[in-house]
Structure 1
């Protein structure tokens, strides 16, 4: 990989980190670890993020890499954040396999049911409104 491509990738990792941190997360870039690589960004709850800013988009490769690196990092979910050409960071793509997405949605469903059952009504209502449709 040329230094220009590496710099482009590093810059995109920083853009993702800053974007997510502006939303209240505490995301950080991590050092690459060869065949035990643990993804590009940590601190996105339950995930590792594999950041991709390449001219040719290769989704199957990105998803395999993100899922492998999530296992290496001990996180349940891997996601590839793929740069959308000529678009803002937030308009990029978050890519995962359907199997991974189904596991994530099942976990969210179960957590929502527990919160609805055990949280005080006003806490549940505030949570639902904060994270409702269109947010």
Structure 2
């Protein structure tokens, strides 16, 4: 007999992988569980250990602690949880991380954008326009 909670989690992970493959990284895939040294549920979300959550009761502090711990195990600089929204599609899920992690991510993004703008302003302008249109 299948555990319904495990089946729900597996289905959510599979939907996330399909979404990431289409919109972010075609090589995204589910990770094999590693026990105490788990590296996150999904690999291929750039620079992140991704923890997938599809639960009726949402406990953000637990999710973030788990994602941060698994980022260390995975050798990734950032951890996040992708939390399913009830009655919504994959693209409407919540991506959750603590403020300290988000500030580190934004600082990295700012530094890289400034470096690209300084060394290749035309390339930076093209990417800036492309990503502004996507919002």
Normalised to the residue count of structure 1, the TM-score between the two structures is 0.94
Measured in 2, the distance between the counterparts of 1:33 and 1:69 equals 10
User: 2:45 aligned with 1:62, yes or no?
Assistant: no
Aligned to 2:129: 129
Q: How big is each residue's C-alpha offset from its partner over 1:80-110, in whole Å with a ceiling of 9 and x where there is no partner? A: 0000000010101000000000000000000
User: 2:35 aligned with 1:45, yes or no?
Assistant: no
Which consecutive aligned stretches of 4+ in structure 1 deviate over 3 angstroms post-superposition? none
Aligned to 1:17: 17
Quick check: 2:85–2:93 contact (8 Å CA) kept in 1? yes
Measured in 2, the distance between the counterparts of 1:80 and 1:111 equals 24
Aligned to 1:84: 85
Q: Per the alignment, in what secondary structure is the counterpart of residue 125 of structure 2?
A: helix
1:91-102 to structure 2, matched below 5 A, reads 91-102=92-103
Quick check: 2:29–2:42 contact (8 Å CA) kept in 1? yes
Q: Relative to 1, partners in 2 of residues 1:61 and 1:24: Cα closer, same or farther, differing over 3 Å? A: closer
Q: CA deviation at 1:20?
A: 1.1
Q: CA deviation at 1:124?
A: 1.6
Ranges in structure 1 where 5+ consecutive residues have no aligned partner: none
Q: Per the alignment, in what secondary structure is the counterpart of residue 122 of structure 2?
A: helix
Quick check: 2:24–2:45 contact (8 Å CA) kept in 1? no
Ranges in structure 2 where 5+ consecutive residues have no aligned partner: none
